[in-house]
Amino acid sequence: MNPVYPIESTGLTDLVGKFLKADGAGGFAVADADDIHVGCLDHALSATKGGLAVIGARTRVKVTGAVAQFGFGKLAADGTASAYTGVDGEVRCCQFLQAGTDGELVAAVIM
């Protein structure tokens, strides 16, 4: 089973593939690289309804920069994922299932 759950919030259309954090009103985009995410927006049915992929789910994540297949992703300040380098303070958020380049939606497992 792929854990993707319904979510209601505002402005979801532009957040597909980005990580969200909880705000008590359905979630909103991560705003800092050290935020604690609740998952990644898998899809948006409308501007207010979509699906949230939580830990363990396979989904597509929006990437910043180049990423390698099976490499880990770190959370970026804009809610995207970039290549994890192991530097202190980085928040691992996913493992990429395919390689990708800047701005692409890449298959990944949410961590």
What does pLDDT average to in each consecutive run of 10 residues of the chain (111 residues)? 86 90 73 89 92 96 98 95 93 96 97 94
Three-state DSSP class for residue 15: helix
What is the structure's pLDDT at 27?
60
The CA distance from 39 to 45, in Å, is: 17
The CA distance from 16 to 87, in Å, is: 27
